[in-house]
C-alpha cells in the first residue's frame, strides 16, 4: 500500500508551504492565542529558559494544528517534517524565509 504521507512530504510545493505558514501566522494572531502567547511572554520575561518552557509550546501547538490541514500528521513529527521541507525551500524563496523568521521571532530573540 502506498504511503500517502511520504508523498505529501515529497510533493509539498512552495505555495503550499506559504499557505501553511500564513495559516500558522493567522492562528497565532487570533485573539485567544495572542492573549495566551503574550501572557506567557510576560511571565517568562527575559529568561530564555522560561520562554522555551512557556511560549514555545504554545506556538508549536498552533503550528501542529496548521500542518495537519496540509496532509501532515497533527503531532510534533508532522511539524518537524513540514519544517524540514520549508527549510529546504527557504534559500530560494524569500517569502518562505521571511514567514519562518516572523514565526520564530515570537520565541527566539532577534540578532541585529
pLDDT digits (tens, 9 = 90+) for 7-60: 455 578 999 999 999 999 999 999 999 999 999 999 999 999 999 999 999 999
Structural domain for 66, as ranges = 14-105
Q: What is the pLDDT of residue 11?
A: 74
| Residue 89 included in any domain | yes
| Residue 9 included in any domain | no
Write down the pTM of the prediction. Answer: 0.85
Q: How many domains does the chain have?
A: 1
| Residue 8 included in any domain | no
Measured in degrees and rounded to the nearest 5, phi and psi for residue 74 equal -85, 70
| Residue 112 included in any domain | no
| Residue 63 included in any domain | yes
| Residue 1 included in any domain | no
| Residue 6 included in any domain | no
Q: Which of 67, 48, 61, 65 is nearest to 107 (CA)?
A: 48
Amino acid at each position: 500500500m502506498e504511503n500517502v504521507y511520504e508523498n505529501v512530504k515529497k510533493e509539498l510545493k512552495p505555495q503550499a508551504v506559504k499557505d501553511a505558514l500564513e495559516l500558522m501566522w493567522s492562528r497565532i494572531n487570533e485573539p485567544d492565542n495572542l492573549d495566551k502567547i503574550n501572557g506567557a511572554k510576560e511571565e517568562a520575561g527575559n529568561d530564555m529558559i522560561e520562554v522555551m518552557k512557556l511560549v514555545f509550546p504554545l506556538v508549536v501547538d498552533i503550528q501542529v494544528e496548521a500542518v495537519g490541514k496540509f496532509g501532515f500528521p497533527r503531532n510534533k513529527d508532522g511539524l518537524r517534517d513540514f519544517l524540514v521541507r520549508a527549510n529546504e525551500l527557504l534559500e530560494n524563496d524569500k517569502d518562505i524565509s521571511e514567514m519562518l523568521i516572523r514565526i520564530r521571532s515570537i520565541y527566539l530573540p532577534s540578532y541585529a
